[in-house]
Amino acid sequence: MTGAEQVSRSGKPAVVAHRGASADLPEHTLAAYERALAEGADGLECDVRLTSDHELVCVHDRTVDRTSDGVGAVSEMSLAQLRELDFGSWHPARTQASVLTLRELITLTLDWRRPVRLFIETKHPVRFGSLVEQKLLAMLHEFGVATPPSADHSRAVVISFSSAGVWRVRRHAPMLPTILLGDTARMLGGSAATAVGATGIGPSVETLRTYPDLVDRAAAAGRVTYCWTVDEQPDVQMCADLGVRWVATNRPAKVRDWLVTVD
């Protein structure tokens, strides 16, 4: 029996709302995150980008074209310019919404009536390079969550597809948990996570279906697994069976309901 096979875990995956309750409401909007919290999400996930005046905003794409009534790159627009756009009416829910800043989302998370963990993804490559992590860590320090007593007690987790981005966070905030995202088993199952000191790996659900042993291999190395984006019941069951710690989903209420039936 290998070391990986000897690893034992218990408990069901915790539910992370991917860009909020984004199947029902426009992604990265305050309403989507409030819905996810009301539905009992254990964590919230967001993507962050820097504006031209170096404000952190919750936007996934490089441009605002898909998720607003405007056009152009986020990095070439000021926060004031972004505030003039509607980030909600594109969605079938037809809910008007302003751009959400990371500051607003952290405030919502920390003020919620029960502990919730915030997973913050830094996007790369970007024109501002390492400034994204610098600004993020400065804000987490401001809110008092950059130096948790342990990874298990942290209210924030920094996640990224960029190994350099993860390394920057580990170097400057060693107690802050980090997750190296990836969509290939070669990257996540090899030495990359070890090299940057990531405390977890983040495979896509498609990757995990093909390489389910990733969870045991990560656990044997002392790392948790965060799987994205888990929206179907068979995948929820698979993640529970494998021992995935966190599942990111666009449908937090549905996934929580499905987990109730998991043995």
Dihedral sign of CA atoms 136, 141, 147, 151 in order: negative
Residue 110 confidence (pLDDT):
98
Residue 263 confidence (pLDDT):
78
Q: Which residues, given as ranges, of the chain have pLDDT below 70? A: 1-10, 190
Prediction pTM value: 0.95
Which of 18, 28, 54, 91 is the catalytic position?
A: 18
60 catalytic? Reply is yes
Per-residue pLDDT reduced to its tens digit, 46-88: 999 999 999 999 999 999 999 999 999 999 999 999 999 999 9
In 3D space, the residue among 176, 179, 175 whose CA is nearest the CA of residue 161 turns out to be: 179
**Which residues are CB-neighbours of 164 under 8 A, at least 6 positions away?**
124, 130, 196
91 catalytic? Reply is no
Which of 54, 60, 124, 172 is the catalytic position?
A: 60
**Which residues are CB-neighbours of 139 under 8 A, at least 6 positions away?**
56, 102, 103, 106
Per-residue pLDDT reduced to its tens digit, 86-107: 999 999 998 999 999 999 999 9
Domains of the chain plus CATH, in order, are 14-261 (3.20.20.190)
Residue 11 confidence (pLDDT):
80
